[in-house]
Amino acid sequence: MKRLLTLALSVALLPMATAQTGGAGIGSHGNGLGKPGPPFCGGVTPAKHPSISEIEKTQGQNEGSSLMLPSSEPVPNFGVERYRLRDYAECTTSIGCYWSDLNAQVYRAQRLMEDEVKGQPTGRKLAIVLDIDETALTNYCEEVREDFGYIPDRYDAWTVSPEAAMAIGSTNSLFLAAQSLGVDVFFITGRPESQRYATVRNLEKVGYRNWKNLSMKQPGVTYASTSAYKAAERKKITEQGYTLILNMGDQWSDLQGEPMARYNVKLPNPFYYLP
């Protein structure tokens, strides 16, 4: 049976995960007190904006007044939602902390992987698949510089820069644990082949070394969807005789389509959506 693990599942594993979120793996982020938090981003200052409670107070100040005619707003205000997102990413809100949620989910995945390896027959070729962006590496610094928008030229320049060598520490810990168990690691990313040199450089710089293969989108090759592309790349792995025990990514398109792994782990990503 193949399973999909989202952030809301496997509550029984949470104590183990919570205990480790302050770990000091390569690229782990925090405030120096053992608490998870955003990475240091040069040129980025902490957010300064009205609190959500202040905004709600303003919105309700004249509620019910005969002098006020409010409009219908079926879509949340984008500016306010960006405030919420920045607070969540900087761990300054009561709704939670992105880095804690991310680390907890990765550690759940690591425990599932380790338990699965124990139950596999000796000699079987085992593999895991990892996405790169917001899974192995974080692009948070560029995302916050763009105010959580998307400016293609700036974003692409960041992706291939040495500055973009920023590991998600919990994922690096999972990566190293897999290798220690004799499990081969495959990266499948939606990045284009033209970014291979910079991608490999940045992965290796932060501790992702001796992986089995890196799949990137090839020029002139098209797929019906990202899911179709990533599923096709996973099929190439199983055709080499591997059993996929774990597939982890931040987008649903990282996980869907056959063949699926034994466990398919969806990481939180509040910053963007890729179909």
Give how far Cα 179 sits from Cα of 13, 19, 176, Å: 22, 23, 5
Tokens of 25: 């793996």
pLDDT at position 181 is 98
User: Mean per-residue pLDDT for 129-149?
Assistant: 96
Residue % of the chain over a pLDDT of 70 = 89
Read off the pLDDT of residues 13-28 as tens digits, 9 standing for 90 and up: 333 333 333 333 333 4
Q: Average pLDDT of the chain? A: 88
Read off the pLDDT of residues 183-209 as tens digits, 9 standing for 90 and up: 999 999 999 999 999 999 999 999 999
Sheet of 3-5: strand order equals 3-5, 263-266, 243-249, 126-130, 184-192, 213-217
| 31: pLDDT strictly greater than 80 | no
Interatomic CA distance for residues 31 and 29, integer angstroms: 7
Read off the pLDDT of residues 233-272 as tens digits, 9 standing for 90 and up: 999 999 999 999 999 999 999 999 999 999 999 999 999 9
The three-class DSSP label of residue 155 is helix
Q: What is the largest CA-CA distance in the chain?
A: 77
Read off the pLDDT of residues 50-102 as tens digits, 9 standing for 90 and up: 887 888 888 778 777 888 888 888 998 888 999 999 999 999 888 899 999 99
Place of tokens 């079926």: 74
Q: What CATH class is the domain 3-20+103-266?
A: alpha beta
Interatomic CA distance for residues 36 and 85, integer angstroms: 16
pLDDT at position 61 is 80
Q: Range(s) for CATH 3.40.50.1000 in the chain? A: 3-20+103-266
Give how far Cα 141 sits from Cα of 42, 43, 64, 159, 272, Å: 8, 9, 42, 11, 14
